[in-house]
Amino acid sequence: MDLYFSPMSCALATRATLYECGAPARFVQVDAHTKRTLEGDDYWRINPMGQVPALRTDDGWLLTENPAVLQHVAASYPQACLLPEDLAGLSRVQQWLGFIGTELHKAVFVPLLDPKAGAEVKQYARDKLTLRMGLLQTHLQHQAHLVASYSVADIYLATVLNWAPYAGVDLAQWPAVQAYHQRQLQRPALARALSEEFALFQEEQTRRARAT
């Protein structure tokens, strides 16, 4: 599989999932500003949305959208047990992937992180935090994971929560969420993905600064 990613983006969740699965993969870095791969390919021609993650499967077709990509990798490596086998558990994972993608990632964190978003947009996003993080706080008070066992939904949530300090969000307001996040970071796959991508992110910043 080939994973198109930009460092420290949501595609980090797929990298961590690949590591959890022990899946061989090629990682193709996309510059989020120029929309070119580091090899110089035009990323718009690969993914017309210009977004990461995009996964070139072993059969050669391209899959996009976090929930689909994460489930595809996890289902390809069932021995890693990152998806429940029963329908209720699987449906719950899909519920959480939808919640994380639409209610947290896109509705809250994208506007808070986007330097082009004005103060009103940021306030609109910030207003949504209380309900959404409160729901997580209640849920995670009595649960180690989002569903009965560790799943790709936890990997996606931890990836989004990684952005909190950069988005001006103090997770200490939701102690169960903060403790959950800290636990997630102990997973070797996630810790490895995070440290590798943080280094790549810093290199990207240096390259960009030199180019301007």
Ligand X SMILES: N[C@@H](CCC(=O)N[C@@H](CS)C(=O)NCC(=O)O)C(=O)O
Biggest distance spanned by C-alpha atoms of the chain: 53
CB of 179 to ligand X, least distance (A): 24
Angstrom CA distances, 172 to 121, 153, 164, 175, 206, stand at 24, 21, 11, 5, 31
Residue closer to ligand X (CB basis): 65 or 103: 65
CB of 117 to ligand X, least distance (A): 13
209: its two tokens: 């600064």
Return the sign of the alpha-carbon dihedral for residues 105, 125, 113, 33: positive
Residue closer to ligand X (CB basis): 75 or 144: 75
User: Interface residues with ligand X (CB under 6 A)?
Assistant: 9-10, 32, 50-53, 64-66, 101
DSSP-assigned beta bridge partners for residue 42: 36
CB of 174 to ligand X, least distance (A): 22
Residue closer to ligand X (CB basis): 56 or 176: 56
Residue closer to ligand X (CB basis): 22 or 208: 208
CB of 6 to ligand X, least distance (A): 6
CB of 97 to ligand X, least distance (A): 9
Residue closer to ligand X (CB basis): 10 or 167: 10
